[in-house]
Structure 1
């Protein structure tokens, strides 16, 4: 039995008890960037899937809720801040766990760093729409890197409150649109035709499902905040279900509202004519020009909220891996006042700046290449981690004594594994819809996920030979320093 790692009792640590259910849910939902997903991606889902598109988001939400059953059950038994890789290690072994750890680092970094390209282009669009000014994207993205670094440097309590405000604002503008459409009765009267089998069971639904699963990326990060949660055995599962339930229902509702704004017979043509302007046209018609201006601004803040949420998740993964002894020990340092993994945050910011500057130096398009080419393997990597975790959960519970039911430990994770495998196939087969790139580029982007995992397996083999002590205890919970209490 490996000896647990320990840290000096007076060493700075993450703030214990800083986050409640709503705080953690804010992090997760903010990472999904609901306003950006709706205004930027939902019109394409309508264009491809027709008026049955809302059901695609409901089905994705149901799939991930099934996954969450086993995932949150395991969170009560494995409390490591490494989440995905810790679960996979316990079920599939240290080699698979180390491969998963590398995949998680690449996946979460890909999901964040690519979005700096979106920040640049979204800010360009906003300043052009509101001021008629054209600004370069690179200074905006670099300024965003500094803002996000500062947000991660401050306490997790600060980040949770900031994300709460930003999330309420971005969802609020969509609720305002919904109120306007419902009060007016829509373009042709309110209709529930979107939910009839004839409009759902169409060839385009597969593409909608691919978009829908991508819209939930990052929801599983609830467990990363376990060490900072109040009563984590209750708070983490609640936050997970709240996040999945909210996103699934809210996405479906807002897409349905957009359809009602134009009418069942007209919305597909409207989405095809101007997908980027669909939501702006709707809110202008039903609320007013001022609301469209506000939506432009709130898309920028939505992107910033997503960046901060992913930045905090990445920092905690790096902290956990540094505590494992896999990453440099310096990344495990926690700020004595803010209780933040500030060295990991600085390292992540430097990495992000290097990638952004490299794409800029190559003359790459910030949206079509920096965002889509970096985000896509990140999204696929996180979906692959969900699948591996779903496979690991029943294997783990077969090996340990527990009082959990078969539904939570076997039925739900096995069902989730089948559904997630189907989702991955859907995303890969429709990758051109995400990237707009050639088959060669799409193949390379998809291939990065198994390549990274295989590199992780090779690193695991090397670690087993050269550092067998670290390999043997990988994925077990270290004994962190005595936690700091969040100051009043």
Structure 2
């Protein structure tokens, strides 16, 4: 078989490898350093641990219906396969292009932020001055190379990076528990008055963002070993494991600083908040170690997102929604190498365009891209919940808890977070101007419309291709 005609992925990813992909995308150390201060200062302060608990519950409820429906999905199409199965091919394809663009924007935003972090690291530790944009381009090219190779090469790198970053956070947690004991932990963090202080809706929304990427449990279906067993198990382990990690770690952070001081401390120190806590328990050297691991955490997250975007393009190319060349598989590495190449080239092209506009890498490129992508992600989660409910109501099979109650409760939680995000969009992007907020909404509508229009064109002009879209589910 020639290389260009091969469009079937292969691999033997087990539960551990797939869970690593999910956790890498969640970037636990990055969450503790960069996201937790946002939950505390923009959300409900010491209620951060409760926000993580509620976000875990929402994602668990989502996962119940998600897993129940997974045995009816045979394709590697991830969330949009579910949406198509329940809501039809047109909405399914719209959700596919929305997810593709959303993840792409998050990836470019993250790679930009990583360039800044990497440049600062070299300057602080080695006294080497390298422009941040050079480091961003270097990271993009490195990630593109790893994406070009077999998926298991990426999973091995992710394993090393994740073990190190998770170990540091767990070590800090253990020191806190050893010093305070369970009875010495700050229970005010779970007191109703604390939870309802500030803006609990924003806190929960930021906590939901910490779970981004667990779609990877199904997007690597073609490369999984025994997917009918591996995917459900990996999904539950990822959701509950990541959730428990955040709950305990945020609770320890609040306990060390104190409920009454946490907001002022996080406002004053920002992203240094967790670094100062780690330094208190692990010594001065730990700050430098964590800064290094923060960069590897960002890199692991970007690599995982790259692999997700690449597989979106691969599937869309496979069914002629995007150019079919994106579905070409490397004969040696069994990877979607053309899709990886196009993704890398697209990221670099967009990044250079943004550089020409002289946008700030953090307050503009990162903030706008990450927010746009996250809104799209939460929309896809909500549509998936609706699809699960509709699918099982139509087929009238499955038990009440898995097919209706759990996904309905999960949907309510997700829609609440989505509404909070839209209402607070100007403050989330760091701009009081409504123009950027309007542009973000227009980009998401355009991304969804792209798939819907493509589906309608296929239905009228190429009915055979439109019929083939059934295979996406």
TM-score (normalizing by structure 2): 0.94
Specify whether residues 225 and 268 from structure 1 end up closer, same or farther in structure 2 by C-alpha distance, changes over 3 A only: same
Deviations for 1:139-198, whole angstroms, at most 9, x for unmatched residues?
101100111011111211111121111111111111122233333339x95322211222
* Aligned match for 1:254, one of 230, 243, 249: 249
Unaligned 5+ residue runs, structure 2? Answer: none
| 1:352 corresponds to 2:350 | no
| 1:458 corresponds to 2:453 | yes
User: 2:179 aligns to what?
Assistant: 184
Deviations for 1:96-142, whole angstroms, at most 9, x for unmatched residues?
11211111110111121111111111112322332344431111011
Kept in 1: contact 2:3–2:329 (CA 8 A)? no
What is the correspondence of 1:288-307 to structure 2 with a 5 Å cutoff? Answer: 288-307=283-302
Specify whether residues 15 and 471 from structure 1 end up closer, same or farther in structure 2 by C-alpha distance, changes over 3 A only: closer
* Aligned match for 2:361, one of 366, 377, 380: 366
User: 1:323 aligns to what?
Assistant: 318
| 1:409 corresponds to 2:403 | yes
TM-score (normalizing by structure 1): 0.91
**How far apart are 1:55 and its partner, in Å?**
0.5
Kept in 2: contact 1:32–1:215 (CA 8 A)? yes
**How far apart, in 2, do the equivalents of 1:378 and 1:20 lie?**
28
**How far apart are 1:459 and its partner, in Å?**
2.2
SS in 1 for 2:264: helix
SS in 1 for 2:215: helix
SS in 1 for 2:220: helix
**How far apart, in 2, do the equivalents of 1:394 and 1:9 lie?**
41
SS in 2 for 1:114: helix
| 1:43 corresponds to 2:23 | no
| 1:311 corresponds to 2:306 | yes
User: 2:20 aligns to what?
Assistant: 26
Paired residue total: 470
Kept in 2: contact 1:116–1:356 (CA 8 A)? no
SS in 1 for 2:418: helix
Bigger shift: 177-186 or 364-373?
177-186
**How far apart, in 2, do the equivalents of 1:398 and 1:180 lie?**
49
| 1:442 corresponds to 2:414 | no
**How far apart, in 2, do the equivalents of 1:23 and 1:203 lie?**
39
| 1:242 corresponds to 2:205 | no
Kept in 1: contact 2:185–2:252 (CA 8 A)? no
User: 2:118 aligns to what?
Assistant: 123
Bigger shift: 444-453 or 280-289?
444-453
User: 1:96 aligns to what?
Assistant: 91
What is the correspondence of 1:119-198 to structure 2 with a 5 Å cutoff? Answer: 119-185=114-180, 189-198=184-193
Unaligned 5+ residue runs, structure 1? Answer: 1-6, 479-488
**How far apart are 1:13 and its partner, in Å?**
5.6
* Aligned match for 2:269, one of 271, 274, 284: 274
**How far apart, in 1, do the equivalents of 2:292 and 2:426 lie?**
29
SS in 1 for 2:471: coil
**How far apart, in 2, do the equivalents of 1:301 and 1:109 lie?**
20
User: 1:483 aligns to what?
Assistant: none
Kept in 2: contact 1:89–1:98 (CA 8 A)? yes
What is the correspondence of 1:377-456 to structure 2 with a 5 Å cutoff? Answer: 377-400=372-395, 404-438=398-432, 439-456=434-451
**How far apart, in 2, do the equivalents of 1:278 and 1:138 lie?**
26
Deviations for 1:319-339, whole angstroms, at most 9, x for unmatched residues?
111111211111111111111
Specify whether residues 112 and 42 from structure 1 end up closer, same or farther in structure 2 by C-alpha distance, changes over 3 A only: same
**How far apart are 1:62 and its partner, in Å?**
0.7
User: 1:52 aligns to what?
Assistant: 47
